[in-house]
Amino acid sequence: MSEQFLYFLQQMFNGVTLGSTYALIAIGYTMVYGILRLINFAHGDIFTVAGFLMVYATASLPLTVSIPLVIVATVLLGIAVEKVAYKPLRTAPRLSPLISAIGMSIFLQNYVLLAQTSDFVPFPNLLPEMDFLEHIGYVMGPSDFLILLVSTIAMVSLSLFIRYTRMGKAMRATSQNRKMALLLGINADRIISLTFIVGSSLAALGGVLIASHMGQVNFGIGFLAGLKAFTAAVLGGIGSIPGAMLGGLVLGLAESFTTGYFSGNYEDILAFGILILILIFRPEGILGKATVQKV
């Protein structure tokens, strides 16, 4: 195998790993938007909180306890954000919850900054030894494998849940027409809370996995990751869970190959350049459907 091909494989697996993380966060964006028609800009900062909670939980608790504990704490935070920042504005003009979402994002980011530090905090090594990866260690390490595995399981499980379970069907009904869903007896408040529970759980998984992969965490790690996950959600078609998965992978691969063959200085330019182009030429995204508004 030539060195050029091995390097190509390495960049490809790096892109899949990065894209899987973006997809985990993007699903949270797309689920909330699908039901509330709201961009939850605080979603990336919930990702940050999960990373810091994991640092402190693993300092005194075993991994089997700390991971569920962090997920539960992050879910409670997500529910609190929904109740405080979004629920009172359900019937308000669309601009009001958008401003509230941005304000909640700034609040969480600065709260973490003041409560912790502006420096990077070392993240504990949570990954077990994986001897079966020895033969492909030059293209995929333990963190890459674990991120890919957990992301795939989470996304497939969520897709099956949305498609086949009673609550999943209620979520789809609420997304398509909330007023009609209410007339059919669906509890919209419960569905919205469930959406934030699922989204926050995925943000917690993403925060723990990416921080473990990087080996460090700081107060701003989730802000940029959240913006890129939002880009992935728009790229794939916001409101579509398969679209969020596809958008995350496309963005992750694009960033990885740009960094590998050109320079890491261009990856952010590429990410937000893609966002601008998709909004101009295909605002509904790759898997999104164009909507016709009646006058």
pLDDT tens per residue across span 153-207 = 888 888 888 888 888 888 888 887 888 888 888 888 888 888 888 888 888 888 8
Determine the average pLDDT of the residues in 262-273: 81
At residue 24, does pLDDT exceed 80? yes
Determine the average pLDDT of the residues in 229-251: 86
Rounded-to-integer distance, Cα 264 and Cα 259, Å: 4
pLDDT band, residue 129 (cuts 50/70/90) = low
Which pLDDT score is estimated for 77?
Answer: 92
At residue 116, does pLDDT exceed 60? yes
**Residue 146 in tokens:** 């674990």
At residue 87, does pLDDT exceed 50? yes
Determine the average pLDDT of the residues in 135-144: 68
Determine the average pLDDT of the residues in 240-250: 86
pTM above 0.75, yes or no: yes
Determine the average pLDDT of the residues in 260-279: 83
At residue 64, does pLDDT exceed 70? yes
Which pLDDT score is estimated for 186?
Answer: 86
